[in-house]
Structure 1
Amino acid sequence: MRIADGVVTRPAGPSSPTVHAYLRHLRAAGLTCVPEPIGLSGGVETLRLLEGESGGDGWYHQHTDEGLASAARLLRTVHDAGKDWVPPGDATWGAPPVDGPDLVHSHGDVGPWNVVWRDRQAVGLIDWDYLHPGPRLDDVAYALRWFVPLRSDALALEWHHFPAVPDRRSRIAVFCEAYGDLPDFDVVEVVTARMEATRVLMAELARRGQEPQRTWVDEGALDREAAEIAWIRGHAADFA
């Protein structure tokens, strides 16, 4: 990926034309929180840069309840604005479509690193490589894993850089309330089911030789994911 003069240039994939069509729909609906697509040519896509911090810098902005809630509201805004989009007949999805209730066009990788932040507020959602139709709750479940986070104390401190172990039950409530109008659901079941699906997709992409998934799998990612799923199920009482 390269950034110059306010333009992001990155490799395009099979789903890039579909992603660009979706982003154009959101922009036409008045959303400025997703990148403006510029073009596709020669295996490269270009998009207008959303100014702010993302990637590794994103972890710190969502430590506060305010930052966490702003990310939930951003996700809800995007879901609602894109719900009426009619994809092209030749749409190619970045992840397999998932059937279920209350379908939206799922981002598929909603974590603090793919949010653009300014002053501890979520202002953008980027990197739509896994765009696919799926239940609204799928993206919420994925986000809960990474934003709360539903991970061990050691990972919360060392990987997510929290100054102290966060109150996970409270952060689940903050995110869900800010997103709004969610049905009652079992957090552990919904989150681990989403993790299982992500693990299956990672294995399939690695089998096809796609990077970085092939390297992740070679380095033991599937076993680590299985261990994290087991950790969540073993600590279910902490999240109820």
Structure 2
Amino acid sequence: MSNADAFEAAARAEAANTEARPVVIADGLVTRPAGTAAATVQHFLRFLRSQGLDCVAEPVSLDGEVETLRYIPGASGGEAWYHQHTDEGLASAARLLRKIHDASQAWIPPYDAVWTARPIAADDLVYCHGDPGPWNFVWDDSTAIGLIDWDYLHPGPRIDDIAYALHWFVPLRCDEFALQWHHFPEVPDRRHRVAVFLEAYGDLPAFDVVDAVIARLEAVCDLVNELAESGQEPQRTWVLDGALDREREEIEWVREHRDLLSPR
């Protein structure tokens, strides 16, 4: 599959995602289908807000298969790409992720906690977002002010979220995607953007960026396949539309461009 074909297929998958998970924003509230982990996620969000973090949405209600949260004003979703092009925007997302990770360590999950993503044992355990791409941050101009959509909340190492974020923020993807999907005016200096993100997050042990990103992408493939096989949407539609093949192509691109991506 060519990059252009992959881009078109990914756009179809995103449209399927929107159709499968309708979200209504009105009167300062977000109403959306509740995932299986919604009660656990709302418990977590309430904890973070009790610690003074207003960068996550305030849960309002959970009624059967529908949940309601307080809307965080700002740009997100498809509008988010443009706000993280600058070093300032990139660094602000890394700092926000660090603040949330640090605060999360004091959370005690409920005894019946449900995780959509698989928990991962770690010495420096945090509670990971699981999907910290630019679209799930809320932006005020070039500053990340919120992180939403916590469906894939799970315990794990910081690197789990960091590797995922690097893939999408830098981006550790082909030139065509950087220009067409991420809307950069020119192909960015990926090595520089990796360094900016890691420095802004701060105080990390040495790790191999490329190996970490590859491992994270492989874990994404495993999770999507697992959810699809259980009949869950939109993952089932993604797999039918070739999402796993596209993910594996992205993994190969990262592996083949190690020299371009690893910080010096």
Quick one: distance in 2 between partners of 1:39 and 1:80? Answer: 26
Letter paired with 1:23:
L
Quick one: distance in 2 between partners of 1:148 and 1:128? Answer: 22
**2:31 alignment partner in structure 1:** 9
Alignment of 1:208-223 (within 5 A): 208-223=230-245
Unaligned 5+ segments in structure 2 are: 1-22
Residue range with higher mean Cα deviation, 94-103 or 72-81: 94-103
Q: Choose the corresponding residue for 1:92, options 114, 118, 124.
A: 114
Letter paired with 2:260:
D
Deviation at 1:101, TM superposition (A): 2.8
Q: Choose the corresponding residue for 2:189, options 163, 167, 182.
A: 167
Deviation at 1:43, TM superposition (A): 1.1
**1:26 alignment partner in structure 2:** 48
Per-residue CA distance 1:182-204 (angstroms, 9 max, x = gap): 11110110000000001100001
Quick one: distance in 2 between partners of 1:136 and 1:101? Answer: 10
Alignment of 1:110-125 (within 5 A): 110-125=132-147
3-state SS, counterpart of residue 39 of structure 1: strand
Quick one: distance in 2 between partners of 1:137 and 1:13? Answer: 25
**1:39 alignment partner in structure 2:** 61
Letter paired with 2:180:
E
**2:200 alignment partner in structure 1:** 178
Q: Choose the corresponding residue for 1:142, options 156, 164, 167.
A: 164
Unaligned 5+ segments in structure 1 are: none
Letter paired with 1:141:
A
**1:151 alignment partner in structure 2:** 173
Q: Give the TM-score of the pair, scaled to structure 2.
A: 0.90
Deviation at 1:226, TM superposition (A): 0.5
Give the alignment's Cα RMSD to 1 decimal.
0.6
Letter paired with 2:230:
R
Per-residue CA distance 1:70-107 (angstroms, 9 max, x = gap): 00000001001111101010000121101123110000
Q: Choose the corresponding residue for 1:78, options 100, 105, 108.
A: 100
Identity among equivalent positions (%) equals: 66
3-state SS, counterpart of residue 45 of structure 1: strand
Alignment of 1:49-60 (within 5 A): 49-60=71-82
Quick one: distance in 2 between partners of 1:17 and 1:152? Answer: 38
**1:239 alignment partner in structure 2:** 261
3-state SS, counterpart of residue 105 of structure 1: strand
Deviation at 1:109, TM superposition (A): 0.1
Deviation at 1:42, TM superposition (A): 2.5
**2:85 alignment partner in structure 1:** 63
Letter paired with 1:232:
V
Q: Which runs of 4+ in 1 moved over 2 A?
A: none
Letter paired with 1:190:
A
Quick one: distance in 2 between partners of 1:145 and 1:102? Answer: 22
Deviation at 1:229, TM superposition (A): 0.3
How many residues are paired up?
240
Matched, 1:107 2:117: no
Quick one: distance in 1 between partners of 2:252 and 2:162? Answer: 20
